[in-house]
A and B are shown apart, each in its own frame.
Chain A
């Protein structure tokens, strides 16, 4: 078959494409379509338009979302998301591609708001905005509490009522903000900035219950950041117990409702008073117990004998002293005894017992010596006499001198002997007492009263009668 036909003008590519485009755009079914599919190949260039495809198991649909529409999205499109797109089909002539011009897009499954919350939550969590370490502790007793909320409505009334009931006179400052509508996030963020100017040391940010759209402001990133930037701890209180917003994650503490927030922030005055009372009582009890123990210890000491009877404390040292005295006396006595024994020993020496005896002996010896001396003198002189006689003429003087020397030696020996004599003792004033029988009297028992004794003195002796026994001179010294 031949392509060229004389009666038919060929179409240009543009012409044909325009024709198709006309057909597509003219089809009522394609003018407003709802199509569901998985979002993929998402591109978001700086122009602000969004390009992606929707696909299912068997087909792919090119989609474009212009900036104005993309900006209205309440979530961030991402690959893999199941979405419902609404728009019209047309043809992009340059590429010869038909595509869906998306006017609205929302995730299926999760609601778009929910998804947006999840996405923002993930983003802020990644930044560490919800880090538990950043959570601040509420003051035990706030001086002033800022209520960042609408000045109208039940929420603020409930919070004031509960705070006053728990702690009458607690400082409360309402910082009025818009809690719904497009300006709410900015208003709430500015309200949170005012908290330090209120002199508050704790803040509650929130509102009463409402639809998820009405609570939307509390899912705003600006609100979350303002909460973290607030210099005092912030409690979030948004809607009802089941409503959880980004603000709740960012806050230092989440309260399920505004009333609950007031209860968390404002302590019960009576409970605090009780606590102080209890502590004061415990402190008194502890000190009383301590004092009681101290008294007891003191009493225990008082009961000790030393303090009760101080004299008894001296008993032991006194005993020691007396023992020492006893020992001292005993030792003195024993010394005396010892000396007496020695003295007795001395007394028993024969010299003292019978001073005359050695004199007699010595006298005998002296006489014998004198005899021998005379004999020896004669012996010496006999042979010499003749010689003497012979020499008498020559040496009469020599013989006389030798005799004289001998006499002198004899005198010296006698003097020395005299010094050794016990009689010499008598000459110093001592005397010896002897019984009639001649025994030396040493102790009173040797001479009972009435006996006669003979007392030998240096010169002569005395006959005496014993009248009585006197005391022992050593005993008297004791």
Chain B
């Protein structure tokens, strides 16, 4: 597991993985078919929710390529990456 850092925004990624895992577990449970009907419907509802959540995370990831450098004080600075200038 990755450690959390204050400015690291990777919680959603972890959530994606957890959501996928839970979704897969729900599918397996439902396919086994031994859940009572009420629980089946609740699991189904949760599963559909998770599938939507996962799907949304795939489509929401629209990011630009950035460059991270340290400024003169050693503080990290993020700016747009213009592509590699020359070899």
Q: Which residues of A are in contact with B by a Cβ distance under 8 Å? A: 136, 139-144, 146, 151-154, 156-157, 160, 167, 169-176, 190, 194, 196-201, 231-233, 269, 272-273, 275-276, 279-280, 282-284, 286-287, 289-291, 293-294
B84 lies within 8 A of A196 (CB)? no
C-alpha spacing A472/B9, complex, angstroms? 108
CA distance A102 to B70 in the complex (A): 43
- A283–B20 Cα gap in the complex (Å)? 13
Cα distance A315–B34 when bound, in Å?
Answer: 37
Q: Considering the chains assembled together, what is the distance between the CA atoms of A141 and B18 in angstroms? A: 11
* Minimal beta-carbon separation of B19 from chain A (angstroms): 9
> Which of A141, A173, A232, A291 is B2 in contact with, Cβ under 8 Å?
A232
How many Å lie between the Cα of A41 and that of B86 in the bound state? Answer: 52
11 pairs from A and B in contact (CB 8 Å cutoff): A136-B2, A151-B85, A154-B87, A172-B81, A175-B69, A194-B69, A197-B68, A269-B58, A272-B58, A276-B23, A282-B31
Contact A194/B8 with A172-B63, A283-B26 known, Cβ cut-off 8 Å? no
CB proximity to A under 8 Å, residues B7-63: 7-10, 12-14, 16-17, 20, 23-24, 26-27, 30-31, 33, 35, 37, 40-41, 44, 47-48, 51, 54-55, 57-58, 61-63
Contacts A196-B8, A231-B5 given: A280-B47 contact, CB under 8 Å? Answer: yes
Among A142, A275, A283, the most chain B Cβ lie within 10 Å of the Cβ of A283
**Which chain B residues have a beta carbon within 8 Å of chain A's beta carbons?**
1-3, 5, 7-10, 12-14, 16-17, 20, 23-24, 26-27, 30-31, 33, 35, 37, 40-41, 44, 47-48, 51, 54-55, 57-58, 61-63, 65-70, 76, 78, 81, 83-87
Other-chain contact of A140, B17, B27, B33, B78 (Cβ < 8 Å): B17
How many A-B Cβ pairs are below 8 Å?
Answer: 161
User: In the complex, what residue of chain A is closest to B65 when comparing beta carbons?
Assistant: A172
Verify A153–B87 contact, CB threshold 8 A.
yes
**Chain A neighbourhood of B9, CB < 8 A:** 143-144, 199
In angstroms, how far is the closest chain B Cβ from the Cβ of A139? 5
CA distance A230 to B29 in the complex (A): 37
Given the known interface contacts A143-B9, A283-B51, the answer about A290 and B40 at a Cβ–Cβ threshold of 8 Å is: yes
Contacts of B8 on A, CB cut-off 8 Å?
196, 199-201, 231-232
Kindly list chain A residues whose C-beta atoms are within 8 Å of the C-beta of B65: 160, 172-174
A194-B69, A283-B44 are known contacts; what are 18 more A-B pairs with Cβ within 8 Å?
A: A142-B13, A143-B9, A144-B9, A152-B85, A154-B87, A160-B81, A171-B61, A173-B66, A174-B65, A176-B69, A194-B70, A199-B9, A231-B3, A276-B51, A276-B58, A280-B51, A282-B30, A283-B48
